[in-house]
Amino acid sequence: MTKRGTPGAPRIPPWAVAALFGLLATVAAAWLCQHVFEGIPHFSDGVAYAFQARVFASGHLWLAPPPVPEAFGIGNVVLNESRWAGKYPPGWPLLLSAGYLLNAPGLVNPVLLGLAVFGLFRLGRTLYDEPTGLLGALLLSISPFALIYGATFLSHVPALCVTIWTFDALARGKKSDEARPLLLAGLLAGLAATVRPYTAAALIFPAGLWLVWQTPPRVALRRTALVVAGAALPLLLNLGFNAALWGHPLRTGYNQGGFSDGLTGWPGHYRSPIDLLREHLPRYLVDLNLDPWAEPWPDLLPLLFLLPRKRRRSGDGLLLASAFALVVAYSFYWHYDPIHAGPRYAFEALGPLSLLVARGLMAGAALLEERLAGLRPARLLEAAVILPIAALLFWFPLGRRLPELMVSNSRAYGGQTLEPLRRPGAESVGPDALILVSSNLQGPSYNTLALLNDVDPRKGRRVYALDVGARREKLLAAYPREETWTVAVELAPWPREGRFDEPSFEVRRALWRRVR
């Protein structure tokens, strides 16, 4: 199909270009997952999500506690006298369970990242125009912050994806005032609440206000009712899950023993919300200017081009308010957590910020065009300025920052790695063996290996368990196997060169010994 009135090559539809950006982001994140993170979770939260996803994939909501439960303790997993389940909301483990059913869990987040990229194009097209949507999608697809998180098992990428598509449905519903996009927006918002409830509330609440802003009361009420109706199903299912697993619709895994920390801390360690805001908000603003693309200038600097009144658009307020609301909400949280590639609690702001930066870059290009309009040759002068800037836009995130992150996130990031299985002695372990794991960094060293067990360890041939010392005989009796081995893992901190005190380690030694 050629452009009307002009001969030449077929014009590629913008949606196809956006889909290509999404595909490239998916491929890059999938490659990073396998070659940097070994295709496994490398942070305790990711291990807990993976554990619960495997439980769902087995057809259960939770598992009965295994014999000798203290030998199977995993970070952020509740293991008490009646339940064995992850503490987090069910939305992300349920999505991830599809990956385990297909034997490809490491592909779920990369695919969701690709969908987020394409969704950002749609949102940009709905709020602005196709070029803005394309540039926003491109920026998200080349962000090292996004690509690294797309390679993990954390819940931030699904939250990013679902909230972006929620915004698009809300924007389309506001434009058309039709019921279908508003019902879809509610459904997606409800799903987002089952993935990361605090994040969803912070991001989507400003969008809800924007939906009914300056509209007649009857219209505002109708729109609100449609969104709430759409959200009802996932929210009710979430409440039902809580009731079945934890005994009350409003009780979650966070309320269980050992997981009672609240928004501003835990008993004996509470901090003033004002102190938290003063400490965290400046850090978020600094890091969000350094980590999304790691350009030689502040990453959000192009937003200055949107300050003139004539360059502002109605969607700018929505995006800025949502991103800022998320940052402020987590500024009140007791913990600031910069891992993997940036401040993770602000990760979902990357969607709105990508579109805003795209808007700023296009406004800057338009301003340059205005300034050079009377000069000759104007097009040549524009190219002389814009092309080097465009090259930098690609080089610094992909040619410099991403390789640095690949190095800093490799090895035993978070103390979790499959490296002990590649050390001498591991090859001698038979298929029917009980392997007792000990380490100078006990929990993280075991977490990864625990995911190699059968969902019910009693039914698997190989069983990885913590070496429980005095209770070893009881463990041996409960899990009789042809062989019994011990592996002692020694982890040493890996030199850190970045701005963050990231939990990178290297396996100094892994000593395998057959004891029976």
pLDDT tens digits, one per residue of 141-165? 999 999 999 999 999 999 999 999 9
pLDDT in tens, 56-91: 999 999 999 999 999 999 889 999 888 999 999 999
Query: Strand 342-343 to strand 338-339: parallel, antiparallel, or no bridges (unpaired)?
Result: antiparallel
| CA–CA dist 122, 424 (Å, integer) | 52
Residue 388 has pLDDT above 60, yes or no: yes
pLDDT in tens, 193-245: 999 999 999 999 999 999 999 899 999 999 999 999 999 999 999 999 999 99
Q: 142 is written with which tokens?
A: 């080349």
- Mean pLDDT over 297-310 rounds to 93
Q: What is the Cα 39 distance to its own chain's centre?
A: 15
pLDDT of residue 461: 93
Q: In 3D, which of 321, 502, 317, 315 has the Cα closest to residue 414?
A: 502
| CA–CA dist 157, 30 (Å, integer) | 13
User: Model's pTM, two decimal places?
Assistant: 0.94
The DSSP output letter for 63 is: B
pLDDT of residue 2: 43
- Mean pLDDT over 438-463 rounds to 88
The DSSP output letter for 298 is: -
| CA–CA dist 203, 349 (Å, integer) | 8
Share of the chain above pLDDT 90, in %: 74
pLDDT in tens, 13-68: 999 999 999 999 999 999 999 999 999 998 889 999 999 999 999 999 999 999 99
pLDDT of residue 72: 94
| CA–CA dist 437, 408 (Å, integer) | 26
More confident residue, 146 or 378: 146
| CA–CA dist 241, 249 (Å, integer) | 7
Could you tell me the residue ranges of all domains in the chain? 14-408, 413-514
Residues 6+ apart with CB under 8 A from 327: 281, 284, 285, 288, 346, 349
Q: 429 is written with which tokens?
A: 């372990």
pLDDT of residue 410: 85
